[in-house]
Structures are given as C-alpha cells and as structure tokens.
Amino acid sequence: MTDIQASETPNEGTDEERYDPATIEPKWQAYWEKAQTFLTPEKPGEDRYYVLDMFPYPSGAGLHVGHPESYTATDILARSKRAKGTSVLHPMGWDAFGLPAEQHAIKTGTHPRDTTVANINNFRRQLKALGFSYDWTREVDTTDPAYVRWTQWIFLQLFHAGLAYQDEVSVNWCAALGTVLANEEVIDGKSERGGHPVERLPLRQWMLRITKYADRLLAGLEGVDWPNSTRIMQGEWIGRSEGAEVTFEVKGQKPIEVFTTRPDTLFGATFMVLAPEHPLVAEVTTEAQREAVEAYVAKAKNKSDRDRQQSKEKTGVFTGGHAINPVNGAEVPIWIADYVLMGYGTGAIMAVPAHDTRDFEFATAHGIPVIEVVKGDAPEGECFTGHGVAMNSGKYDGMTTADVKAAITKDLEADGKGKARVEYKLRDWVFSRQRYWGEPFPIYFPVTCDGDPRKDDEHTIHYDQPIAVDESELPVRLPELDDFQPGDDPAGVLARAKDWRFFQKDVEGEKRWFARETNTMPQWAGSCWYYLRYCDPHNEEALASKEALETWLPVDIYIGGAEHAVLHLLYARFWHMVLYDQGHVPTPEPFGKLVHQGMILGEDGVKMSKARGNVINPDDVIAAHGADSLRCYEMFMGPLEATKPWNTDAIGGVRKWLDRCWKVARMVRDGSDGAYDEATKKSVHKTIAKVTSDIDELKFNTAISAMMVLSKELEKAGAPREGVEALAKLVHPFAPHLGEEMWAMLGHEPSIQNAGWPEADPKLLVDDTVEIPVQVNGKKRAVLELAADATEDQAMEAAKQDPKIAEALGEGTLRKVIFVPKRILNLIIK
RNA sequence: GGCCGAGUGGCGGAAUUGGCAGACGCGGCGGAUUCAAAAUCCGCUUCCCUCGGGAGUGUCGGUUCGAGUCCGACCUCGGCUACCA
C-alpha cells in the first residue's frame, strides 16, 4: 500500500505550493475506502470502545451543519481511540421509515422506497466527503427487509410476552384527510392543514405495555452517565407519584374511587370532580341538572386534549349528586369539569380548595366553601400547597403532613375505604399508525366470509383473535402500491391492498380466510434497537449474536440531540429491558455515557431555517475550505453542548491553522529540521497532555486552541521533525485528511492511525521556574520569576528585592503572608 | 406557572475548579510586501485616564488574605414542560 504519497502539485517546492484540501481530501477518502482502514476488528482486544451517533433520518434536504457537529465529535473519539490501540465500533445507518417520503409519494407518485434510496445515497456521499471513519460494512437501514425482519421479530417477543395488545383509543380522526392526526396537528377542532373538521373517535390501536416497566425505567436512570437534565426530564415523563386510592360512597349508587397524593387533606375535601367522560356521570346526575351536564359533556367531547388544556379557565357543572366523605361522613357535592382528565388516576378527584391551586380556582369561580386543614403561611386569598401541621382534622390535628398521610391511609385501609396507591403519568405506548411507509405488523386475524373478501364480499375480521406470523415467515413485506393517498378507511392505507391483506390458509383440512394487520409501526420502532444490529449487522439467525452483543454492549458513548431526551431514549431503554429479561441482550441498560450536542444557529443568531434564508450548506463549506476546515471549525466554535451561532468568517482562522500545520510538515519534507530544543520539546509534551485530556473530556475547542499555539511555535523553531510528527498525530483525529497528508510528507507509510498516539513525558510537563504574581492587599504589584520549588522564605526574599514591593513594605507593617507554591504571594500590610 | 441551563471585550469563547480575568479565533486599527490590489506576514486591540494608575466577569449583599468560580436575594435571556389530583 505505498502507491499513496504526498500530493504532487505542479509547483512543488516553490512558494506557490499550498495546502489544497480539494486535492488531498478526495485522495485520502479513496485510500481509506480501498485499504478498508476503519473496519471493526474481527477479534476485538480487551480494550474496546463503542462510540455511537444518533443515526439520521435521510431527508431530501441532505445534511445540515448540525450533523457534522456531533459526527465530528464522535469521529475524533473513534480515531484517537484507534490510534491508542483500542478496538473501536463506530457505525452509521439510516432511520429511513417516516412521513416525508410518504408525503412526497402522495404528491409526486414516486415510491417512498425510491425517494429513500436516493436520499440515503446522498447522505452517504456527504458523510464520506466529511471523512468520517465509519465502518461502512456495518451500515444499517431500518427499511431494509433484512432489518425489518428483526424489528418484527422483536415485536413478536413483546406480543408473546403479553406486552403488546390492542385497545380502542380515542384519536383525532380527520375524515377529509383520511388519517389520524397528532394532538399538535389539531387546532380548534380543525385540522392544522386544510381546516377540515376533526373528530375524537375510538379506534383500534396496537399498544405496548411500557407502564409495566415504569419503575425499572425510573430506577435505571440512577445508574447511567447522562446529563442531569435529561434524567430529570425522563423521570418527570414517567411521573411516579405515591398517594392513596379513596372510596367515596354515593347513596344508592356505585361508589366513586379517587386518587390523591394528599390523603392528609381529606377533611378539607369540600367537593368532588369527575372527568366529563367518567362512566358514573350519568348515574350521579339528577334530573334537574341533566340538561346542563349533557351539554357540558358534549362540548368537552369534541375538544382535543390540547384545546382542553389550552384554557386554564376552570369551567364545570354541578351534577346535583352528593358523595360521602369517608373520614367524617360529610356530604360533598359532585361536579364535572374538564380540568380533571379521564386518563390519569381514576378520572375523579376529591377537591381540596384550601390546599390545591386548581381546586382553589374552581371553588372560587363556583362559590364552593374552602376549609383549611393544614396550617400554612399562605397569604390571604391564596392557597397553601406545602406541608405543615394538620388542623380541623379530628384526631389527626397536630400531626405533620407526612404522619397524617400514613395514618389516614392506614385507617382507611382498615375500614376498607382506601389503600396506598402509586400512579404514573406514563401511559401505554400507542404503537400503530395508519401509514404506508413503516414496518407491517407480523400479525393476522381470522376472517369469516362466504365468498371472497378481496372482492368486497361480506366478511367479518376477528380482531379479537390476533395470530402471530410464524418467525420463519418473517419479514412481512409491504405490498406494492402506486397510490399512497390516505383513504376514508381508518384501518389505514394498507387496507386498500386487498390481495396483500387477505389470504387463504389450510386449517384442519379446510381453506379459511385471514386478514393481515393493516396498521404499520411508528418510526420509533426501527430506532429502538439499531445500536444492537450494528454489533452484528449481517446475522441471519438472530438480531445479533450473543458474542457480538457481549463484546460491544453497553454503548460507551452516545451523542445526539436533546430533542430525543425523552421519547427515543425511553422507548429504546424499554425494548432493551424486555430483551434483557428474555435473555437476548447481556446488559440491563443500553447506553452508558450520553451527551447532547448544542444547536448551531444561523449567522443572525437564530435557528437556521429555509424561511429565514440563514441555512448553511455543508457542501458549500467543503467546496470553499475543505472538510477538515469544516470539521475543525465546528469543534472550535465552542463547547460541544452549547448552542452557538455560525460565523462564516471564523472558518478562515481555522483554515489558516491547518495551512500552518501543512506548512511545517512541508518544511520537514524539504529538509528544514530545526533544533528540537528543550523549550520546544516541553511545549510539544504539554500540548500532547492537554489535547489528550481535552479529548477525553470532549473539550475539542480548547484542544484545537492548544494545537494552534504549538503549530506556531514549531514554525518559529524551524519545524523540528519530532515535534511536527507529534503534531500530525494530534491533529489527525480532528483533520484526518491533513493528518494523513502530513504523515506522508514526513515520509511515512499510511495510515497515520496506525502510528500510535503520542505520550506525554511527565518530566517534561513541569517547569523549573515559574512566574508568580505578588499581591499587596490583594492587588498585583509585581511578578517574580522563582524556582518551581521555592519556599515561602525564598519568595519573600525575592519579593523584597522588588522596588515596588519594598516601597509598599516600607509604608506599613506586614501582618500576614499568604504563599501558595507556584501560584501566588499575597502580602497583607497595614 | 414549573423544571433545567446560561449571563465574561465589538463578536465566538478561555480561565489548572478559590490564586495574574480575557488563552485561542473572528472583527477592527497600524505596519511590511506590492505599481496597485488580493493573498500572506508582523504588531496593537476590555474600558477610563492627568501615563502614575483606576475600574471591570448581569444587579445587590455575604464568606475569604484573595471570588468569573462558593453562599443568599433579585434581573435578563434560552431550552423543555405545562391543569397528572
């Protein structure tokens, strides 16, 4: 592999010869491709590192500058680890199912697969042009049937474990658009696009029982090395709260169950509220109130969740009914109001206006009495929601909130009127979509039909008897369609593919009809487990071999946007835990360290968007300055996690630095070999130490700054070979093409990645002498050059020699001397 | 409203975690080179000033010999979340 050499330019050796990324970058990319430089080792050593990027959705717009930010960070980690001899897994792939390709298909008739393939090819080209060291033989595509097969296989494991089930869920159905809409796509009961009416409709959906894992998903957050804010967000999303279930009897009718986190305030419950959809509403409503209640229920029904929550105004209607407070036998009026949600707890609350803001607002608006039961310090006209000491609470008076909670719950339980209960905000996961471009469910149902259901002969699909497709028949492929328009059938686009949907099978010697599930999985499905497939992407016997998973899991570092802090990361952890329980993966958690890169804003300091016209295209930057400059600039902008604005001018500064690196390598090649004196040597080793630790801490901006300083120094020193070689090794993870080019110019064989990582000599990191500032009463008055191991006496002696210090000492008495070796000498004089 | 994060030159940002505030880069100014320009290189660049110094890290207060860093109160901006009983 010696056919690669430093670039030959027409003016070699003259002043015209320049650092020319347009020439060297494609050359080294071709070399890497041919030499397969970045293959994952087949027999990984003991020291292993799995560095993972959140894989992109390959959109038609191509890469934006946010992609190279985190991808460069992980590439620096991967390359520097490989240089150190670590076995690295650094893969890339495509989260390629999803709505945009389908929408494009609806508009243009182009099959989503064609759009997806074209977009992937463009993304791959762009990523290769950036010189990332991915092992492309492990590329994964969530839409590839060989991948879908295992996504479906995992679904079947969930299904067999009772974690996947069907349920009627109230969704936003828009008949005009023929599709279900997300809450944020519904405004004022109309579709966001087109303004068509949207109704709340119960539809059959596939659900995943993620709530069963709520406690473990919460507990697992304790042990992961994640940003604190992300752990808090996931914790709040799971939303565990401890409280009690309390039974309120209703005369002559079914009792009402409520959930409360404040059973200690039961004596202050002056009314109850049922959600408008609560099943007991009709029962408790008196004739006199029926009309008003029905009108309110009807109005609430067609409001989306979002609309319902938009207005904070506390509306509601009295039902006329009363319930009995179990602790004191008091009769409390029962209201209905939409601030109580059917989906949480029991859909009914006991309202304690004295100690709950929402109940307080409601009571104030509707003239309901307020009884204080916890002594607090809230100002008049406000309610006290904190903890304190009980009052107006019978035998519990004088006890603390925590004690009353425990005592009342215990007493209620003894009376059979309540018990402790834990609630979660987390809901089971609605896992089906009525789209085309997603994974089909490996599920079918029996059909009763006298004729042929494909010909619309009358038939019944028995959705209550789902049958799993045999694992040997996976994957279930999508049918070919040429019309991707949503239809009027809530069963989804696939319902129109009748030849695909309905099929016959022999059962007990008789041909029977069956119908495939026509929903598809959401985009989250593929991204829930792609990091597992990377470990062993071509395995046909399993989603990945046990050995491969044991070798690489858990992921050592995972870098991606904070927008996935909750959903993607929660869903992936859920699947991982299920697979762990079934023995398919070796670790309880998938990801070790997690980092979110910050957003890159436009030059105007606001989010990049087409509408604002402030979008920077990486292709343009590469054309103007090269990939290495783009990579280094993005790392130099500031801390990886920070949001920071783009500044095109500043790229020039980074490029100048790369140019200088190239120049010192050329100086060596052309015979200039400056003396590697002690001072230069020390600078080199200090930079090695700084860059090495900065990479470990992901402080790429300061690592580059240190290399900028060193390259200037090496140039001044006449490019001593040993120093330039160290510089090349330090630079190469950041600017890999330049690193290879420098290495070649220095007369070495590629790849520089195999040249090892430089090691700092600890002896060279300490200076013999140090400059220490001398302060008088905290103000700097002089700087002394002292031996590094100087004692306080020696420092004082030197300080007295300084005229300014001597003068200050003469003006007052020395009260105190603070001497911190190598840091400071502070003299307190009065 | 709640939670999280951040406020340092004209700008992006450094600061060994309590020890010389402003590294490095952009921009600006001055100079070299050039017939000229581009490119390149060198120097200066927090503010005020009487050239000795004085002030200075969102505001006010505190701890300390010493605070950008720690503590308390507040202000501003950004992100997420939002009636979850």
Cα–chain-centroid distance for residue A60? 22
Beta bridge partners of A440: A520
Nearest amino-acid residue to B12, taking CA and C1': A637
- State residue A380's pLDDT score: 65
- State residue A804's pLDDT score: 80
- The C1' atom of B81 and the CA atom of A346 lie apart, in whole Å, by 23
pLDDT at A15 over 70: no
Task: Indicate if A583 and A704 belong to the same structural domain.
Answer: no
Tell me whether the omega of the peptide bond preceding residue A255 falls within 30 degrees of 0, making it cis: no
Tell me whether the omega of the peptide bond preceding residue A393 falls within 30 degrees of 0, making it cis: no
What is the residue type of A656? K
In whole angstroms, what is the distance from residue A663 CA to residue A681 CA?
19
In whole angstroms, what is the distance from residue A44 CA to residue A36 CA?
16
Nearest amino-acid residue to B25, taking CA and C1': A653
Nucleotide nearest A599, CA–C1', reads B79
Single out the residue of A54, A95, A107, A52 nearest to residue A77, CA to CA.
A52
- The C1' atom of B3 and the CA atom of A229 lie apart, in whole Å, by 9
- The C1' atom of B70 and the CA atom of A778 lie apart, in whole Å, by 18
Nucleotide nearest A312, CA–C1', reads B83
Encode pLDDT of A98-125 as tens digits.
Answer: 888 988 998 898 999 999 999 999 999 9
Whether A355 maps to a domain, the answer reads yes
Q: Please, are residues A102 and A484 in contact by the beta-carbon 8 Å criterion?
A: yes
- State residue A5's pLDDT score: 53
Alpha-helical (H) ranges within A447-523 are: 498-501
pLDDT at A782 over 60: yes
Whether A329 maps to a domain, the answer reads yes
* Protein-covered nucleotides on strand B (Cβ within 7 A): 3-5, 11-16, 19-21, 23-27, 40-42, 53-55, 65-67, 78-85
Three-state DSSP at A182 gives coil
Q: What's the CATH code of the domain at A252?
A: 3.90.740.10
Task: Indicate if A706 and A812 belong to the same structural domain.
Answer: no
The tokens for A7 are: 């670039």
- The C1' atom of B50 and the CA atom of A829 lie apart, in whole Å, by 28
Whether A62 maps to a domain, the answer reads yes
Cα–chain-centroid distance for residue A642? 15
Q: Please, are residues A418 and A326 in contact by the beta-carbon 8 Å criterion?
A: yes
- The C1' atom of B50 and the CA atom of A84 lie apart, in whole Å, by 61
Average pLDDT over residues A145-169: 96
- The C1' atom of B78 and the CA atom of A70 lie apart, in whole Å, by 21
- The C1' atom of B33 and the CA atom of A734 lie apart, in whole Å, by 33
- The C1' atom of B26 and the CA atom of A711 lie apart, in whole Å, by 19
Choose the weakest-confidence range: A441-450, A737-746, A800-809.
Answer: A800-809
Using DSSP, how many helices (H) and how many strands (E) does chain A show?
26, 32
Average pLDDT over residues A486-511: 87
Q: What's the CATH code of the domain at A592?
A: 3.40.50.620
Task: Indicate if A399 and A532 belong to the same structural domain.
Answer: no
**pLDDT-derived band at A11, boundaries 50, 70, 90:** very low
Number of Cβ within a 10 Å radius of residue A714? 28
Single out the residue of A390, A366, A365, A370 nearest to residue A380, CA to CA.
A370
From the number of C-beta atoms within 10 Å of its C-beta (0-12, 13-18, 19+), residue A386 rates as exposed
- State residue A2's pLDDT score: 41
Instruction: For A265-334, give the DSSP string.
Output: GGGG--EEEE-TT-TTHHHH--HHHHHHHHHHHHHHHTS-HHHHHH------EEEEEEEE-TTT--EEEE
Nucleotide nearest A637, CA–C1', reads B12
Task: Indicate if A538 and A661 belong to the same structural domain.
Answer: no
**Host domain of residue A98:** 36-153+523-597
- The C1' atom of B72 and the CA atom of A377 lie apart, in whole Å, by 21
- The C1' atom of B85 and the CA atom of A565 lie apart, in whole Å, by 26
Q: Please, are residues A336 and A317 in contact by the beta-carbon 8 Å criterion?
A: yes
- State residue A88's pLDDT score: 98
In whole angstroms, what is the distance from residue A161 CA to residue A820 CA?
65
Beta bridge partners of A779: A776
Whether A99 maps to a domain, the answer reads yes
Average pLDDT over residues A156-165: 97
Nucleotide nearest A261, CA–C1', reads B85
What is the residue type of A537? P
The tokens for A720 are: 């001593």
From A597, A630, A650, give the residue that closes a domain.
Answer: A597
C-alpha distances out from residue A45 to A40, A85, A552, Å: 11, 9, 11
Range with the largest mean pLDDT of A5-14, A361-370, A568-577: A568-577
Q: Label the pairing between strands A467-468 and A443-449.
A: antiparallel
- The C1' atom of B6 and the CA atom of A215 lie apart, in whole Å, by 33
Beta bridge partners of A197: A190
Q: What's the CATH code of the domain at A777?
A: 3.10.20.590
- The C1' atom of B57 and the CA atom of A166 lie apart, in whole Å, by 59
Whether A456 maps to a domain, the answer reads no
Strands (E), A311-415: 317-324, 331-336, 348-351, 374-375, 389-390
- State residue A182's pLDDT score: 66
Whether A15 maps to a domain, the answer reads no
Task: Indicate if A693 and A822 belong to the same structural domain.
Answer: no
- State residue A119's pLDDT score: 97
Range with the largest mean pLDDT of A391-405, A481-495, A779-793: A391-405
Task: Indicate if A622 and A546 belong to the same structural domain.
Answer: no
Beta bridge partners of A644: A600
- State residue A379's pLDDT score: 65
Nucleotide nearest A306, CA–C1', reads B82
From A730, A764, A798, give the residue that closes a domain.
Answer: A764
- The C1' atom of B57 and the CA atom of A648 lie apart, in whole Å, by 27
- State residue A8's pLDDT score: 43
Nucleotide nearest A258, CA–C1', reads B85
Q: Rounded to a whole number, what is the largest CA-CA distance in chain A?
A: 114
Nucleotide nearest A425, CA–C1', reads B84
pLDDT at A597 over 50: yes
- The C1' atom of B10 and the CA atom of A650 lie apart, in whole Å, by 15
Encode pLDDT of A632-682 as tens digits.
Answer: 999 999 999 999 999 999 999 999 999 999 999 999 999 887 889 999 999
Nearest amino-acid residue to B82, taking CA and C1': A309
**A43: DSSP letter:** S
Task: Indicate if A622 and A555 belong to the same structural domain.
Answer: no
In whole angstroms, what is the distance from residue A667 CA to residue A716 CA?
11
- State the first-to-last Cα distance of chain A, in angstroms, to the nearest integer: 75
- The C1' atom of B71 and the CA atom of A389 lie apart, in whole Å, by 30
pLDDT at A12 over 80: no
Residue written as token pair 């700087």: A783
Instruction: For A95-117, give the DSSP string.
Output: ---SHHHHHHHHHH---HHHHHH
Whether A173 maps to a domain, the answer reads no
In whole angstroms, what is the distance from residue A495 CA to residue A653 CA?
58
- The C1' atom of B58 and the CA atom of A44 lie apart, in whole Å, by 52
- The C1' atom of B32 and the CA atom of A744 lie apart, in whole Å, by 34
Single out the residue of A653, A639, A660 nearest to residue A702, CA to CA.
A639
From A764, A798, A815, give the residue that closes a domain.
Answer: A764
Nucleotide nearest A645, CA–C1', reads B12
**A672 CB-near residues (< 8 Å, 6+ apart):** A718, A719
Average pLDDT, chain A: 90
- State residue A174's pLDDT score: 78
Single out the residue of A811, A655, A799 nearest to residue A735, CA to CA.
A655
Question: What is the total count of domains within chain A?
Answer: 4
**A261: DSSP letter:** S
Task: Indicate if A721 and A789 belong to the same structural domain.
Answer: no
The tokens for A729 are: 């090794």
In whole angstroms, what is the distance from residue A108 CA to residue A117 CA?
16
H/E element holding A190?
strand A190-191
Report angle CA A459, A464, A467 to the nearest 5 degrees. 90
Nucleotide nearest A242, CA–C1', reads B85
- State residue A527's pLDDT score: 95
User: What is the four-CA torsion angle of A34, A37, A42, A45, rounded to 10 degrees?
Assistant: 170
Q: Label the pairing between strands A87-89 and A48-53.
A: parallel
- b vs e for A520-539, b when ≥16 Cβ sit within 10 Å of the residue's Cβ? bbbbbbbbbbbbbbbbbbee
Instruction: For A762-797, give the DSSP string.
Output: GGGGS-SEEEEEEEETTEEEEEEEEETT--HHHHHH
A100-105 long-range CB contacts below 8 Å, 24 or more apart?
Answer: A100/A57, A100/A59, A100/A60, A101/A437, A102/A435, A102/A436, A102/A437, A102/A484, A104/A60, A105/A436, A105/A437, A105/A484
pLDDT at A1 over 50: no
In whole angstroms, what is the distance from residue A517 CA to residue A355 CA?
49
- State residue A593's pLDDT score: 95
Whether A450 maps to a domain, the answer reads no
Nucleotide nearest A770, CA–C1', reads B20
C-alpha distances out from residue A757 to A1, A82, A381, A688, A731, Å: 22, 9, 68, 9, 11
Residue written as token pair 């089906």: A432
pLDDT at A185 over 70: no
Nucleotide nearest A777, CA–C1', reads B65
Task: Indicate if A535 and A550 belong to the same structural domain.
Answer: yes
- The C1' atom of B11 and the CA atom of A648 lie apart, in whole Å, by 12
Task: Indicate if A561 and A415 belong to the same structural domain.
Answer: no
Choose the weakest-confidence range: A185-194, A395-404, A712-721.
Answer: A185-194
Instruction: For A216-251, give the DSSP string.
Output: HHHHHGGGSB--HHHHHHHHHHH--EEEEEEEEEET
Nearest amino-acid residue to B5, taking CA and C1': A229
Q: Please, are residues A249 and A395 in contact by the beta-carbon 8 Å criterion?
A: no
pLDDT at A375 over 60: yes
Task: Indicate if A404 and A300 belong to the same structural domain.
Answer: yes
pLDDT at A620 over 70: yes
Nucleotide nearest A778, CA–C1', reads B66
Nucleotide nearest A348, CA–C1', reads B85
Single out the residue of A319, A323, A316 nearest to residue A281, CA to CA.
A319
What proportion of chain A, given as a percentage, has pLDDT over 90? 71
Beta bridge partners of A167: A205
Nucleotide nearest A351, CA–C1', reads B85
What proportion of chain A, given as a percentage, has pLDDT over 70? 95
Task: Indicate if A758 and A771 belong to the same structural domain.
Answer: no
Measured in residues, chain A has a length of 830
